[in-house]
Every structure is written in C-alpha cells, then in structure tokens.
C-alpha cells in the first residue's frame, strides 16, 4: 500500500458495512470509485500543501471534472454557486471564520466541492469545524453514509450554516450596544462613526454572502439536481430554512445600522444646535451690555451722567440687572438651564400638539 498523502483524507463506506474505513492512499482511489456500491468521501486540505498541482491532477485525471470547475475550486474569493454537470454537481459555499470574525469585520472561508453518484469531494484552504465534526461523526456511526452521498453532504452544510448563528447573535449585541452609546454620546466622536460604518460594511457582506448561499441551497433543496434524491430533499430544505433566518436577520440589521447612521447625525446636529443656542444666548446678553458700555465710552464732553459721583456703580448695577432679567427670561422660555426631564416634557407637549 502506498503512503497516504498529507493533504488528502479518504473515507469509504462499503454497502452493508457497520463502520467507515479510512487510511487509504490516493493510488487506491480509482479502484474505490469503480465499485459503485462504495461511498467515497475525499477531503482535500489545501492548507496542508503549498503547491496545488497534485490536487489539480486528482480532480482532472481521476475524477475527470471540468477544468473550469477545477480552476474555481483551487482559486479563492469566489461567490457561492452550484452548477450541474453530467454525473456530478460542483458547488461553492462559504463558512464563517470564527477566530477572525467580529461584528465590525465579517470574514468567511470558502468550501468547494463535488457531489456525484457515489462520492463527495471537498476542498478547502482553511480548517472547517463543520468538516471536522462530520469526520468525527462518521467514525462513530456509519448512518450518515448509509443514506448516500447527498445526505453526507447535507451533514456538512447543516453544520456550516449553523455556525453562522453565534456570529449573527454577536451582530445583534453589538448593534444594541452602539445604539445605547450613540444616544449617550456627548459630541460627534469620529470613532463612533467609524464603528458604525465598520458594522455597516460587515452587515452588508453578511447579507451578500448569505443571500447568494441561500440561492444555492434553494436550488439544491427543490429537486433541481438528480444527484440529490427526493427523500433527502427535506433535509436540504431544513438547511435552507436555517440560512433563510440568517438572511432575514442580516436585512433587519442593515436597516438598523442605517438607522444608527441617521441617529448619529441627528445627535451631532442636536449637540451643534445646543452649542449654537448657548452662543446665541451669550451674544444676546452681551449685546445690550456692549451697547451701554459703548455709549458711555464715547469721547463727548456733554454726557449728563459722565460726571455723576456714583454713575459708574449705577451703570454696573444696571448691566447686572439687565443680565439677570435676560437670564430669567431665557430660562422661562426654556432656552437655557433646561433639565433632561423638562426637555422630554417639552418634546411630549410638542408631539401632543401635533
């Protein structure tokens, strides 16, 4: 028996067997595929090999897949899709990268694969928890393989989609946190706007990926492809429903984040209005005082109060009384010294009037 390739792992279920066999070499792969009663899962780990030429040779020469699908399989940055070819399906789906993904930076990793009559081929450049979990599952029970290759693929996709849920929950928590911080924001901090825009871009990517992936699962779950038997379709529809929830939530998050941008600018505008109102009040107080000071500062000889003994103190007193009167007037109008409760009451009264 030839040595196993470090980048490839082969699992075989023989009809009627009570366990899964593994540990095969690539040289044995053609023989295993020739027996149509075998179910063969070939997992190609691109992260374990620098040169993908050996992987291309397997896909082209052993499975004889279309060369364009092999190019898409090896390359990254492809969008989710599914294509039917004679004898097999080619699919691209995206999983979440949990150690890199945050609500401000949604990062995915690509899983490429093929589904045939008696085989499943998966290729990935990063570790997939869903793939690892299914490997652990089939080593303990052959049940997923007993139902055929389509059901085995369903097991992988089901776990891949379920891994979106914790990330979606983090998005919800982050958006609620930003909502509270925006409402308590004292001024228009640029860092707050940057956080909102980062979340907005991240939500947009989540929406784009989940929408296209939903289309892939919709096609796979509604009997379009003969490689997926009718009795397996309900399982794919269940995965589609799970992803549909993610897509709906991403759409609602996009609307919430857009609302956060509007709230941010509204808060900034309100803070600016408060500053302008304060400056206007100060100007309104200073203006009459400047007028009085300007009049008595003119260099005319015949000013009646100019030589009054207590004129200086009288003018200062007049300025003080005028300042106090203006402050009282502005306060009664609700322009200054207004508490938050008074502001809310004023807003409620205004809404009632409307």
Instruction: Read off φ and ψ for residue 225, nearest 5 degrees.
Output: -115, 135
With H, G, I as helix, E, B as strand and everything else as coil, classify residue 43: strand
CATH T-level fold of 8-265: Beta Polymerase; domain 2 (3.30.460)
What is the model's pLDDT at position 345?
47
What is the model's pLDDT at position 2?
47
The pair of structure tokens assigned to 309 is 């003994």
Provide the pLDDT confidence category of residue 19 given band limits of 50, 70 and 90: very high
- Write out pLDDT tens, residues 213-243: 999 999 999 999 999 999 999 999 999 999 9
Provide the pLDDT confidence category of residue 138 given band limits of 50, 70 and 90: very high
Instruction: Give the highest mean pLDDT range of 28-32, 98-102, 301-305.
Output: 28-32
Provide the pLDDT confidence category of residue 351 given band limits of 50, 70 and 90: very low
Of 31-40, 83-92, 187-196, 209-218, least confident by mean pLDDT is 187-196
Instruction: Give the highest mean pLDDT range of 95-99, 161-165, 268-272.
Output: 161-165
Is the confidence at residue 103, as pLDDT, over 60? Answer: yes
- Write out pLDDT tens, residues 263-294: 777 777 777 777 787 788 888 888 888 888 88
Reference 268, options 177, 352, 344, 196; nearest CA is 196
- Residue pair 5/26 in contact by the 8 Å Cβ criterion: yes
What is the model's pLDDT at position 284?
83
User: Which ranges in the chain are annotated with CATH 3.30.460.20?
Assistant: 8-265
CA pair distance 339, 90, nearest whole angstrom:
65
Beta strands in the chain (DSSP E): 8-13, 21-22, 39-45, 81-85, 88-96, 108-116, 119-124
């Amino acid at each position: 028996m030839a040595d196993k390739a470090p980048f490839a792992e082969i699992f075989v279920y023989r009809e009627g067997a009570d366990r899964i066999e593994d540990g095969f070499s690539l040289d044995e792969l053609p023989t295993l595929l020739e027996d149509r009663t075998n179910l063969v899962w070939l997992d190609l780990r691109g992260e374990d090999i620098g040169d993908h030429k050996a992987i291309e040779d397997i896909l082209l020469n052993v499975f004889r897949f279309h060369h364009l699908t092999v190019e898409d399989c090896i390359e990254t940055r492809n969008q989710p899709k599914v294509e039917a070819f004679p004898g097999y399906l080619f699919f691209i789906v995206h999983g979440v990268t949990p150690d890199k993904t945050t609500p401000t930076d949604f990062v995915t990793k690509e899983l490429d694969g093929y589904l045939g009559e008696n085989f499943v081929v998966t290729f990935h450049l990063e570790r997939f928890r869903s793939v690892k979990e299914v490997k652990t599952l089939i080593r303990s029970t052959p049940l997923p393989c007993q139902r055929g290759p389509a059901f085995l693929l369903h097991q992988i996709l089901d776990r891949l989609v379920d891994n979106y849920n914790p990330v979606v929950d983090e998005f919800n928590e982050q958006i609620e946190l930003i909502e509270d911080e925006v409402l308590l924001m004292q001024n228009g901090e640029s860092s707050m706007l940057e956080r909102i825009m980062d979340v907005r871009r991240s939500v947009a990517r989540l929406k784009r990926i989940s929408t296209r992936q939903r289309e892939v699962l919709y096609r796979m779950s509604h009997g379009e492809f003969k490689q997926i038997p009718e009795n397996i379709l309900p399982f794919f529809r269940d995965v589609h429903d799970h992803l549909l929830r993610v897509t709906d939530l991403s759409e609602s998050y996009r609307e919430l984040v857009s609302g956060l941008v509007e709230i941010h600018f509204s808060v900034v505008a309100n803070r600016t209005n408060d500053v302008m109102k304060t400056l206007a009040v100060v100007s309104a107080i200073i203006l009459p005082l400047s007028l009085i000071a300007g009049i008595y500062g003119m260099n005319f000889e015949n000013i009646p109060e100019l030589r009054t003994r207590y004129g200086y103190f009288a003018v200062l007193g007049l300025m003080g009384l005028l300042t106090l009167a203006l402050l009282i007037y502005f306060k009664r109008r609700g322009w200054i010294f207004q508490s938050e409760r008074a502001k809310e009451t004023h807003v409620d009264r205004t809404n009632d009037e409307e």
